[in-house]
C-alpha cells in the first residue's frame, strides 16, 4: 500500500494530468496542501519533491511551485528500479541471480561506499528479462549494512528496491548516474544473447539512503537494441527516462 506522501503526490498528479492544475499555474501553498490533505508539512514536502523529481512541477525563486508539464516523467524510484519501470509499462519481467558472494571491500568499494579498510561487501550479478528476453545485466555491490537483507531475498526476486523497502524499511532516496557505451565481452555476450563486441549501454550508478549513506553501486549493461534513454531538461528539472527501443 502506498505511504501517505505517495498518496498525496498521486492526487496532485491526477489534478495536473486532468487539467485541474494547468501548465504554468501555481500549486496551492504548503499550508493549503496541508489543510486539504490533513497532513504534516514534512509529508506534503515529500509529495511535492516526488512530483518535482518526475519533472511535473518546478519552482521560481521566492514563488510557489509551478506546473511545468502534464505528462508524467519517470520518478527516481522507477529509474533506479528496473522492475518498477517494466511493470508500469506492462512488461513481463523476470530476474535471475547469476552469482552472489561476500568479499573484502576493494579500493573502489571503499571510495564509492565510504567504507572502512576491513569492510566486507556483497557482490551480486543479476540478469533481467523482459517478456522472456534478456535485456539487462547488473553487477551490484551492496554496503555492509545491506548484506544480510540481500542474502535473505530469493534468487528470482523481481524488485530488490521494493523488497528492501517493504520488508526491511530501507529506502533508496538519491542516485548519481553516468551513461556511456561499451562493447560486450564474452561473458556479457553469452548472458545477453548478443555477439561479442556488440554495443551495450552502460549505466553506472551510486545510490544513497535519505540521510546520504551510500547503500550500493552498480554497473548495469543494457542491450542497446532493446533499451534506450531519453533526457528532458528544463531550468528546474532534468528527468531521465528509460525507454524501450523502437
Binned at pLDDT 50, 70 and 90, residue 44 comes out as: very high
Note the pLDDT of residue 138: 96
Note the pLDDT of residue 61: 47
Helices 41-53 and 4-18: angle between axes, nearest 10 degrees: 50
Across the range 176-192, mean pLDDT stands at 94
pLDDT at 67 over 50: yes
Tell me how far CA of residue 240 lies from CA of 72, 205, 230, in angstroms.
12, 13, 6
H or E segment to which residue 168 belongs: helix 160-168
From CA 230, how far away is CA 201, in angstroms rounded? 12
Distance between start and end Cα atoms, the chain: 33
Residue from 78, 40, 74 nearest 162 by CA: 78
Mean pLDDT estimate for the chain: 85
36 or 230: which carries more pLDDT confidence? 36
Tell me how far CA of residue 183 lies from CA of 98, 170, 186, in angstroms.
20, 34, 10
Q: What structural domains does the chain harbor?
A: 4-67 (1.10.10.10), 76-244 (3.40.1410.10)
| 119 in Cβ contact with 107 (< 8 Å) | no
| 70 in Cβ contact with 17 (< 8 Å) | yes
> Which tens digit of pLDDT belongs to each residue from 116-166?
999 999 999 999 998 899 999 999 999 999 999 999 999 899 888 888 888
Ranges of beta strands (E only) in the chain are 57-58, 66-67, 93-104, 120-130, 133-142, 172-183, 199-209, 214-223, 227-231, 240-244
Q: 3-class SS at 146?
A: helix
Binned at pLDDT 50, 70 and 90, residue 221 comes out as: very high
> Which tens digit of pLDDT belongs to each residue from 72-116?
555 556 566 788 777 766 788 899 999 999 999 999 999 999 999
Cα of 125 vs its chain's centroid, Å: 18
Amino acid at each position: 500500500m502506498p505511504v501517505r506522501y505517495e498518496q498525496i503526490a498521486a492526487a496532485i498528479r491526477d489534478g495536473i494530468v486532468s487539467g485541474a492544475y494547468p501548465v504554468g499555474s501555481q500549486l496551492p501553498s504548503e499550508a493549503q496542501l496541508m489543510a486539504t490533505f490533513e497532513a504534516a508539512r514534512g509529508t506534503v514536502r515529500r509529495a511535492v519533491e516526488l512530483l518535482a523529481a518526475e519533472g511535473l512541477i518546478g519552482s521560481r525563486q521566492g514563488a510557489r511551485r509551478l506546473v511545468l508539464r502534464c505528462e508524467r516523467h519517470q520518478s527516481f524510484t522507477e529509474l533506479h528500479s528496473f522492475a518498477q519501470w517494466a511493470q508500469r509499462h506492462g512488461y513481463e519481467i523476470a530476474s535471475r541471480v547469476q552469482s552472489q558472494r561476500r568479499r573484502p571491500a576493494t579500493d573502489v568499494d571503499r571510495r564509492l561506499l565510504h567504507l572502512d579498510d576491513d569492510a566486507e561487501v556483497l557482490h551480486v550479478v543479476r540478469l533481467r528479462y523482459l517478456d522472456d528476453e534478456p535485456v539487462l545485466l547488473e553487477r551490484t555491490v551492496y554496503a555492509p549494512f545491506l548484506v544480510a537483507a540481500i542474502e535473505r531475498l530469493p534468487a528470482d526476486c523481481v524488485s530488490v528496491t521494493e523488497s528492501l523497502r517493504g520488508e526491511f524499511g530501507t529506502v533508496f532516496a538519491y542516485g548519481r548516474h553516468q551513461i556511456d557505451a561499451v562493447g560486450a565481452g564474452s561473458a556479457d555476450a553469452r548472458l545477453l544473447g548478443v555477439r561479442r563486441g556488440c554495443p551495450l549501454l552502460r549505466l553506472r550508478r551510486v545510490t544513497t539512503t535519505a540521510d546520504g549513506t551510500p547503500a550500493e553501486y552498480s554497473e548495469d549493461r543494457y542491450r542497446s537494441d532493446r533499451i534506450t534513454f531519453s533526457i528532458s531538461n528544463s531550468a528546474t528539472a532534468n528527468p531521465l527516462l528509460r525507454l524501450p527501443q523502437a
